[in-house]
């Protein structure tokens, strides 16, 4: 039985009704598969994961976190023997997609800074309150971020990144540096809940507030690891000035909550930044270079820069001569030069009025033009006539129309296939245009909806132009 059929059957079993629609969601770096299930009056997320221990950890942690009123999805039903469960639908916008959207408009503004602050404030509660009475027997694969876990991460970096890019290193000296780093980090203690993957892709934006997912790898550990994961996420490109503001905000909150020493926290912080980035580089190497997934490859260059910026800024003074030498030589490798020259796929999305002619793609002419004139027209409704597809009343109207949903589902499937094909072929430009009579309502709405869908795909850049919206 395939996953879709299994989830439909289990949905029927616990709700007593047939699901109306079940749609697969984009996959990331794990074996878990997620589906959005639509029933009568609500949606939920169905998950299938053949790893029983990971499922048990996620469900157990979720129930514990919800008992503390932490913002995590509700669990509706869990079928452990069938490797599936059903949870609350938190929508499609995570912090990473929101960041990408902000980059195209206002950049890293105060609103985004405040959201990060709120996320870090909640992290303190996860770390200090959620660890109390947590069933550590659920922790998978280790109950703490101990020596063994750290060595696994460092070896992951060595074998899945350094060896794949043919970086020269002395095995014996590198192992010595690994052990020196681990000895140092273990001094920080293992008293708190360590979320493990506290990064932008795992923080959902729900009504402008952070909600949290993907904490099944959590365990006991040091407090420094998780803020390092969030603020030095290579994919997120958080500005250095913002990093400094945010870590100071976090340190003051954390030390007030725990009566800890700010200087002690800072002593170990950048060491945890290094080990987190090295673990991430191992993942980028495995998923990107070995499995040939381009979204992961794009994160390698920012990761290398973070490592070198830290050791060059004198923020971390532990003596690790072989490791630092390797970091400094990475930018000179042929592999690094090739990645530096590689351009991301740019998807140019436009809306236009047919009265002013169709837009011309000046790059290479590849892509789609969709005629939205067959869709319900909000411009014929008096109260919506002077609005555009960016305004909430128009969006609400369009969302309520089944014809529009069917149209956008078809568009998304076609464009997604082309995006994946273009990435595989190393093409760097794809144009998608939507036209309607006036270029203000239907075409603008459809262009925005497609842009939001594509933001879930790593390794592409999206540019939106509403040519005739203000004419």
- pLDDT score of 201 more than 60: yes
Tokens representing 222 are 């040091």
Residue 111 reports pLDDT greater than 70: yes
Give 170 or 26, the one with higher predicted confidence.
170
pLDDT at 363 over 60: no
Stretch 202-207: mean pLDDT:
97
More confident: 438 or 360: 438
Most confident among 95-104, 203-212, 230-239, 362-371 (mean pLDDT):
203-212
What's the pLDDT tens digit per position in 22-45?
999 987 667 899 999 999 889 999
CATH number 3.90.1200.10 given to 95-341 = yes
**Percent of the chain scoring above 90 in pLDDT:** 81
Task: Spell out the domain ranges in the chain.
Answer: 3-88, 95-341, 345-466
- Asked whether residue 182 carries a pLDDT value surpassing 70, the answer given is yes
Among 19-33, 62-76, 307-321, 429-443, the range with the most confident prediction by mean pLDDT is 62-76
Report the CATH fold assignment for 3-88.
Phosphorylase Kinase; domain 1 (3.30.200)
Q: Would you say residue 200 has pLDDT above 80?
A: yes
Highest mean pLDDT among 273-287, 289-303, 333-347: 273-287
What is the average per-residue pLDDT within 386-400? 96
Which pLDDT band, with edges at 50, 70 and 90, does 209 fall under? Answer: very high
pLDDT of residue 121: 99
Quick one: average pLDDT of 431-455?
95
Residue 341 has pLDDT above 70, yes or no: no
Instruction: Provide mean pLDDT across the span 347-359.
Output: 93
**What is the band of 367 on the pLDDT scale with cuts at 50, 70, 90?**
confident
Q: What per-residue confidence (pLDDT) applies to 423? A: 80
Whether pLDDT at 156 is above 70: yes
At residue 263's C-alpha, the angle toward residues 257 and 264, to 5°, is 75
Mean pLDDT of 293-302: 78
When pLDDT is cut at 50, 70 and 90, the band that residue 403 belongs to is very high
Give yes or no for residue 364 having a pLDDT over 60: no
The separation between the first and the last C-alpha atoms of the chain, rounded to the nearest angstrom, is: 54
Cα–Cα nearest to 105, from 468, 469, 467, 465: 465
Mean pLDDT over all residues of the chain?
Answer: 92
**Backbone dihedral region of 222: left (phi > 0), alpha (psi from -120 to 50 degrees) or beta?**
beta
Segment 121-126 shows an average pLDDT of 99
pLDDT at 294 over 80: no
- pLDDT attached to residue 350: 95
Which of 134-143, 435-444, 454-463 shows the lowest mean pLDDT across its residues?
Answer: 454-463
Is there a contact between 157 and 283 (Cβ–Cβ < 8 Å)? no
* 339/56: higher pLDDT: 56
Which residues have C-beta within 8 Å of that of residue 16, sequence separation ≥ 6? none
Report the pLDDT value the prediction gives residue 426, as an integer from 0 to 100. 64
Alpha-carbon gap, residue 220 to 359, rounded angstroms: 56
How far apart, in whole angstroms, are the C-alpha atoms of residue 343 and residue 294?
Answer: 11
* Lowest model confidence (mean pLDDT) among 11-20, 57-66, 78-87, 455-464: 455-464
The better pLDDT of the pair 92, 1 is held by: 92
Point out the least confidently predicted range of 4-18, 54-68, 96-110, 148-162: 96-110
Average pLDDT on 241-269 reads: 97
Q: What is the pLDDT of residue 29?
A: 64
**Tokens 């074996």 sit on residue:** 31
Selected residue with higher pLDDT from 287 and 428: 287
Here the tokens at position 218 are 């959590």
Q: From residue 149, how far is each of 68, 131, 153, 367 by CA, in Å?
A: 28, 19, 6, 46
Q: What DSSP string describes 89-147?
A: ---S-BHHHHHHHHHTTT-S-HHHHHHHHHHHHHHHHHHHTTTTT--GGG-SS-SB--H
Angle at the Cα of 282 from the Cα atoms of 281 and 288, rounded to 5 degrees: 80
Q: Which residue has the higher pLDDT, 296 or 49?
A: 49
């Amino acid at each position: 039985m395939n996953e879709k059929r299994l989830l439909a059957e289990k949905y029927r079993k616990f709700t007593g009704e047939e699901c109306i629609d079940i749609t697969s969601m984009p996959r990331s770096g794990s074996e878990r598969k997620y589906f959005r299930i639509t029933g009568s009056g609500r949606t939920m997320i169905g998950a299938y994961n053949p790893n029983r221990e990971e499922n048990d950890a996620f469900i157990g942690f979720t129930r514990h976190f919800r008992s503390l009123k932490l913002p995590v999805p509700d669990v509706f039903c869990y079928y452990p023997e069938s490797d599936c469960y059903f949870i609350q639908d938190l929508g499609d916008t995570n912090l990473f997609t929101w960041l990408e959207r902000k980059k195209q408009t206002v950049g890293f503004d105060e609103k985004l800074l405040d959201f990060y602050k709120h996320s870090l404030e909640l992290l303190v509660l996860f770390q200090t309150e959620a660890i109390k009475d947590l069933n550590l027997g659920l922790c998978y694969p280790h109950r703490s971020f101990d020596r063994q876990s750290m060595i696994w991460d460092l070896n992951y970096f060595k074998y899945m990144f350094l060896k794949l890019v043919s970086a020269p290193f002395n095995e014996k000296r590198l192992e010595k540096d690994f052990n020196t780093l681990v000895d140092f980090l273990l001094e920080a203690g293992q008293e708190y809940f360590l979320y493990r993957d506290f990064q932008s892709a795992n923080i959902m934006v729900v009504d402008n507030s952070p909600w949290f997912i993907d904490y099944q790898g959590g365990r006991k550990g040091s407090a420094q690891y998780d803020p390092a994961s969030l603020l030095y996420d290579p994919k997120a490109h958080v500005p250095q000035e913002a990093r400094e503001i945010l870590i100071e905000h976090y340190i003051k909150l954390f030390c007030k909550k725990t009566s800890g020493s700010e200087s002690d926290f800072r002593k170990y912080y950048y060491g945890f930044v290094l080990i987190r980035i090295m673990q991430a580089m191992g993942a980028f190497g495995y998923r990107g270079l070995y499995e040939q997934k381009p979204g992961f490859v794009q994160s390698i260059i920012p990761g290398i820069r973070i490592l070198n910026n830290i050791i060059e800024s004198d923020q971390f003074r532990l003596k690790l001569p072989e490791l630092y030498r390797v970091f400094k030589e990475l930018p000179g490798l042929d592999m690094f030069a090739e990645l530096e020259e590689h351009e991301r796929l740019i998807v140019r999305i436009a809306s236009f009025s047919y009265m002013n002619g169709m837009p011309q793609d000046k790059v290479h002419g590849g892509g789609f033009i969709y005629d939205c004139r067959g869709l319900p027209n909000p411009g014929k409704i008096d109260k919506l006539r002077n609005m555009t597809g960016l305004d909430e009343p128009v969006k609400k109207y369009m969302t309520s129309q089944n014809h529009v949903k069917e149209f956008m589902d078809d568009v998304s499937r076609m464009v997604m296939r082309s995006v994946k094909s273009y990435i595989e072929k190393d093409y760097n430009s794809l144009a998608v245009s939507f036209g309607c009579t006036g270029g203000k309502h239907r075409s603008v709405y459809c262009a925005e909806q497609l842009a939001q869908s594509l933001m879930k795909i790593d390794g592409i850049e999206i540019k939106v132009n509403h040519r005739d919206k203000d004419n």
